[in-house]
Structure 1
Amino acid sequence: MLLTIIIIGLMLPQNYSVNKTIEVNASIRTIKSLTTDFDEWHKWSPWQQVDPSIKFAVSEPSAGIGAHQSWISKWGHGEMTITALNDRKMVFNTLLNNEHIVQGTLTFTTNSNNSVNVECHIEGQATTILVSGYMAIFSEYVLNNTIALGLNNLKTVAQLSDIQNVMESHDSQNSTSKN
């Protein structure tokens, strides 16, 4: 029985891929400020909800190409670096437990109704000896759910941020100055 489980595990694909998209009714500027600066990730990132033991450290620079964050939790440790960035895309690499590399992209597409589609694509390869296939299935399952949660959080935070900015703008325009 154990031999059968191992053989099946060896035959399963070791690669996994997750792709999720969400429409956000906020400006691309707001969305990018939340996603391309690791100092802003605590506002929407799902990882604290998934694993309350996680502790993040953000290095300098915190934003843009070369931005770096690391973490430690009861499940291990990791680090993420932004490797490319332009008007429509952020590319990042993640290293988990000093052995497992995950590549990801966030793509931002403005729609005709001024909303923004945010697409998150993650791909990686499980490298655990004998059980890589099972780990790939598990990783894909966890990431599917966690990325969906993160994109929903991002949508909420970005939309509320844009509403707050509009309200503050109206307040400042409606205030009277004392002479």
Structure 2
Amino acid sequence: MLKKSILVILILISLFLIYVAIIPGDYLIKREIEINQSTEKIFPYIASVKLADEWMPWKEQDPNLKMTYQGPERGVGATSIWESSGNMGQGKAEVVEEILNEKVKTKITYTKPMNFEQISIFKLTKKNENQSIMEWSVEGKNTFLGRLICTLGIINMDKYVGNEFEKGLKKLKGMVEKK
């Protein structure tokens, strides 16, 4: 009886792991906020890697975070590099596309604690002369371990990352509406 129980448990675990291996790993996390300011006034805060770091929530999340910058301050090639012994690990974010007053697309490469890449997009939409919608999204492909963690419910990635996006967007809104 014990052998049969162990065999059933092993089969169930194997089926679960097969399920995790074949489910799509693609993800998209997106949040937006309405800002009482023109796209022209907001854009510098998403185009400059240094200004963007002033409103992004990562420094508050990880006090051990050290930032360095390479390339131009803004535009294609602008790069921020982070290193932390805490929550954020190590990686870099490089601007790969910029459309003036509309969009900044960034390739994010993580090197520690895991190697993976994502694409982050800041998108501005003009609502009227003094109101804009700022959208922040990230997309990528989860590794097997990432899919396992999400499937087990250990981390709800949309909720976790989305909450951080909301904090950053609120901070950005506060900064640019004061100007």
Q: TM-score, normalised by structure 1?
A: 0.79
Instruction: Report how far residue 148 of structure 1 moved.
Output: 1.1
**Alignment gaps of 5+ in structure 2:** 1-8
* Amino acid corresponding to residue 90 of structure 1 in structure 2: V
1:47 to 54, 58, 62: 58
2:73 to 62, 70, 74: 62
> What is the alpha-carbon root mean square deviation over aligned residues?
2.1
Task: Write the mapping of 1:1-179 to structure 2, written as runs, cut at 5 A.
Answer: 3=13, 6-73=17-84, 74-75=86-87, 76-87=89-100, 88-97=102-111, 99-112=115-128, 114-127=130-143, 129=144, 131-135=145-149, 138=155, 139-160=157-178, 162=179
Instruction: Report how far residue 105 of structure 1 moved.
Output: 1.2
CA distance in 2, matches of 1:136, 1:102: 17
> What is the aligned length?
159
- Mark the CA change 1:101 to 1:136 in structure 2 (over 3 Å): closer, same or farther: farther
Instruction: Report how far residue 146 of structure 1 moved.
Output: 1.0
Instruction: Report how far residue 10 of structure 1 moved.
Output: 2.7
Mapped contact 2:49–2:73 kept (Cα < 8 A): yes
CA distance in 2, matches of 1:81, 1:108: 19
- Mark the CA change 1:105 to 1:121 in structure 2 (over 3 Å): closer, same or farther: same
SS in 2 for 1:111: strand
Q: Identity, % of aligned pairs?
A: 22
**Alignment gaps of 5+ in structure 1:** 163-179
* Amino acid corresponding to residue 25 of structure 2 in structure 1: Q
SS in 1 for 2:128: coil
CA distance in 1, matches of 2:83, 2:19: 32
Match of 1:168 in 2: none
Cα displacement string for residues 151-177 of structure 1 (whole angstroms, at most 9, x for unaligned residues): 1111111111x2xxxxxxxxxxxxxxx
* Amino acid corresponding to residue 89 of structure 1 in structure 2: K
Cα displacement string for residues 90-147 of structure 1 (whole angstroms, at most 9, x for unaligned residues): 11110011721101211111112521101112101122x4x23134563433211111
CA distance in 2, matches of 1:132, 1:12: 11
